[in-house]
Structure 1
Amino acid sequence: MKTRSKAALFRPLELPCGTILRNRIAKSAMSDSLGDGRGDPTEAQIRLYERWAAGGLAVSIVGEVQGSPHFAEKPGNLVLGPGSDAARFRALARGGSANGAQLWLQLGHAGAMAYPPTSGPRGPSALDSPGLTCSALTVREVQSLPSEFARTARLAQDYGFGGVEIHAAHGFLLSQFLSPLFNRRQDRYGGALANRMRLLLEVVAEVREAVGPRFPVAIKLNATDQLEGGFAADDARAVVATLDRSGLDLIDISGGTYFPGARSASDGTGRGPYFLDFAESVRPLTRTPLMVTGGFKTLRQAADALDRGVDMIGLARALVLEPALPNGWRSGTAGDPAFPTLQNPPEGGLTAWYTMRLTQIAGNCETSDVGDPEAALRACDARDAARIAPWNARARAWPEAG
Structure 2
Amino acid sequence: MSSANPSVLAQPLKLPCGVVLKNRLAKSAMSDSLGDGCGGPTDAQIRLYERWAEGGLALSIVGEVQGTALYPEKPGNLVLNTQSNPNQFKALARAGLDHKTQLWLQLGHAGAMADPAICAPKGPSALDLPGLRCDALSLSDIQQLPAEFARTARLAQDYGFGGVEIHAAHGFLLSQFLSPLFNKRDDAYGGSLANRMRLMLDSVDAVRRAVGPDFPIAVKLNATDQLAGGFAQDEALGVMAVLDATSVDLIDISGGTYFPGAPSSSDRAGFGPYFVDFAKQSRAKTTKPLMVTGGFKTLDQAQTAITDGSADLIGLARAVIVDPDLPQKWLAGHAPTPKFPHFENPPEGGVTAWYTMQITQIADDGAMLSPAGLSDAVTAYTQRDQQRRALWTMHFAQDSRDQS
Q: Give the TM-score taking structure 1 as reference length.
A: 0.97
1:53-111 per-position Cα deviation (integer Å, ceiling 9, x unaligned): 01111000000000001100000000000111100000000001101101000000000
Structure-2 residue corresponding to 1:363: 364
**Residue 250 in structure 1 maps to residue 228 in structure 2:** no
Q: Find the aligned partners of 2:93 and 2:320 in 1 and give their Cα distance.
A: 19
Question: Alignment length, in residue pairs?
Answer: 400
Structure-2 residue corresponding to 1:284: 284
Amino acid paired to 1:374: S
Per-residue deviation at 1:297? 0.4
**Residue 59 in structure 1 maps to residue 59 in structure 2:** yes
Structure-2 residue corresponding to 1:264: 264
Per-residue deviation at 1:3? 6.5
Q: Which runs of 5+ in 2 are unaligned?
A: none
The more displaced of 323-332 and 231-240 is: 323-332
1:210-267 per-position Cα deviation (integer Å, ceiling 9, x unaligned): 1000000001000001000000000000000000011100000000000111111111
Amino acid paired to 2:226: Q
Per-residue deviation at 1:307? 2.2
1:334-368 per-position Cα deviation (integer Å, ceiling 9, x unaligned): 61211111111111111111000000000001226
Per-residue deviation at 1:390? 1.5
Aligned alpha-carbon RMSD (Å)? 1.4
Q: Find the aligned partners of 2:176 and 2:308 in 1 and give their Cα distance.
A: 29
Structure-2 residue corresponding to 1:322: 323
Contact 2:306 2:313 (C-alpha < 8 Å) held by counterparts: yes
**Residue 94 in structure 1 maps to residue 94 in structure 2:** yes
Sequence identity of aligned pairs in percent? 63
**Residue 225 in structure 1 maps to residue 198 in structure 2:** no
Structure-2 residue corresponding to 1:336: 337
Per-residue deviation at 1:369? 2.6
Contact 1:223 1:275 (C-alpha < 8 Å) held by counterparts: yes
1:157-203 per-position Cα deviation (integer Å, ceiling 9, x unaligned): 00000000000000000000000000000100000101000001000
The more displaced of 265-274 and 297-306 is: 265-274
Structure-1 residue corresponding to 2:71: 71
Per-residue deviation at 1:398? 5.1
Structure-2 residue corresponding to 1:354: 355
Per-residue deviation at 1:389? 2.1
Contact 2:6 2:333 (C-alpha < 8 Å) held by counterparts: no
Structure-2 residue corresponding to 1:212: 212
Structure-1 residue corresponding to 2:119: 119
SS of corresponding position for 1:371: helix
The more displaced of 116-125 and 303-312 is: 303-312
Amino acid paired to 1:387: R
Q: Which runs of 5+ in 1 are unaligned?
A: none
Structure-1 residue corresponding to 2:202: 202
Contact 1:325 1:334 (C-alpha < 8 Å) held by counterparts: no
Contact 1:11 1:23 (C-alpha < 8 Å) held by counterparts: yes
Per-residue deviation at 1:374? 3.1
Q: 1:157 to 1:3 in 2, by over 3 A?
A: farther
Amino acid paired to 2:43: E
Amino acid paired to 1:111: G
Amino acid paired to 2:362: I
Q: Give the TM-score taking structure 2 as reference length.
A: 0.97
The more displaced of 1-10 and 120-129 is: 1-10
SS of corresponding position for 1:297: coil
Q: Find the aligned partners of 1:208 and 1:32 in 2 and give their Cα distance.
A: 27
Amino acid paired to 1:357: Q
